[in-house]
Amino acid sequence: PPFSFSNRQQQAQVALQGGIQGFVYSWSPSLQQQVLDPMLLDGEPNLPFLLAFDFHDESATSQTIPFDALVTQFLSHSNYVRIDNAPAVMIVCPNILQKKDWIGPMVEGWRQTA
């Protein structure tokens, strides 16, 4: 299987050999189920990582992404990328966030939870 323990372990080894020091995961429910949740259980790939959130979809709302659970599970992980001791989050297509009234409370929630 493409996301098996041994394959994820091998991906980390190949990445390190190629000079890649960590991964950015564009969060989705399927990615969480196939890669992120198993990574929490078995530690592979054992590399720094951060989550990216894609807001290209105009219908995206804070209810479509379980931010509270993600912050608790992933942003506090020992391999999670931190800048100035704060967890880093990548937001793709940030211009759409200007149209969303929930972004301020969402980010503040991240800060309080992390």
Give me the residue spans of the domains in the chain: 5-113
For 22-72, the DSSP string reads -EEEE--HHHIIIIIHHHHHH--S-S-EEEEEE--STT--GGGS-HHHHII
CA distance 67 to 78: 18
- Whether pTM > 0.85 for this model: the answer is no
**Mean pLDDT, 10 residues at a time, the chain of 114 residues:** 89 96 89 89 93 69 65 88 91 67 70 70
The per-residue pLDDT for 59 is 56
Cα torsion through 72, 78, 81, 82, rounded to 10: 80
